[in-house]
Homo-oligomer: A and B are copies of this chain.
Amino acid sequence: MKHSPRLAQLIEALRSLPGVGPKTAQRMAFHLLQDARPAARALSQALDGALASVTRCRRCRMLTEEELCSICAAPQRETSLLCAVESPADVVAIEQSGSYRGRYFVLMGHLSPLDGVGPEQLGIRELEAILEEGSVRELILATNPTVEGEATAHFLAELATRRGLHASRIAHGVPIGGELEYVDGGTLAHALAGRQTVV
C-alpha cells in the first residue's frame, strides 16, 4: 500500500534518526499524526530551535549554545588535564561517572582516511593551539577501543609527546560488575596485557 506523499516524506525523514528502520519510522509517524499532534509540533519547534542556537564550543568543540561550553567556562576545572573524546555523548558519559575534573576536547569523529576524515576534520589545529597555551600537562586519550579509535589515540599521543606532554590512554579491561565468563576475548586479552601488580 502506498502512503500519501506527506506521510511518506515524514516516514523517510524519521529514518534519518539513528537506529530507526522503515517499520519503526512508520510506527513513529502514525503515532505522531494519530495520538500525539502536540508532541509532533513540539518536536518540530525543538528541532528548529536547536538548529538555530546549538553550535560548537569555540574551544573544545562540544555542542553548546554559548561561545564557550559550560565545562570550558567553569574556572574550577583543572586546566592541566585535557581528555580527548570522539563525541559529545562521551563527554556526557565521563561527566556522569563523576570521576574527572579536567577539561575535554571533542574530536567529533575519528581518523578515517577512506571517509575523508583527516586531522583537519578532527580539529587538530584547535587542539594544538590549546596544547601550545602551556597549561595542559597531560592529554588523556579516551577514544573508542576500535581500530580507528586506537589509530586516532596513537596519532594524538605523538602530538602530545612531541611537545613534551604526558599522554595517557584510559584502561580497557573487564567492566566492573561484568562476569569473566561473558566477556569477549579481545577485552580479556586487553585485561591480561594491562594487568597491574597487587601491592
Contacts and interface: CB of A to CB of B under 8 A. Distances in A.
Interface of A: 1-7, 9-10, 12-14, 16-19, 24, 26-34, 36-37, 39-54, 63-66, 69-71, 87-89, 91-92, 95-96, 108
A48 B33 CA distance: 11
B95 A6 contact: no
Contact of A64 (B4, B18, B51, B88): B4
A34 B51 contact: no
Contacts of A41: 47, 51
Contact of A9 (B34, B50, B70): B50
A9 B49 contact: yes
Copies of this subunit: 2
B10 A49 contact: yes
Contacts of A39: 13, 16
**Interface on chain A toward B: helix, strand, loop, or mixed SS?**
helix
A88 B34 contact: yes
A37 B71 CA distance: 24
A70 B2 CA distance: 9
Q: Which of A14, A31, A47 gathers most chain B CB within 10 Å?
A: A47
B51 A47 contact: no
Contact of A28 (B18, B36, B49, B64): B18
B34 A27 contact: no
A49 B7 CA distance: 9
Contacts of A13: 39, 42-43, 45-47
A33 B10 contact: no
A148 to B, nearest CB: 15
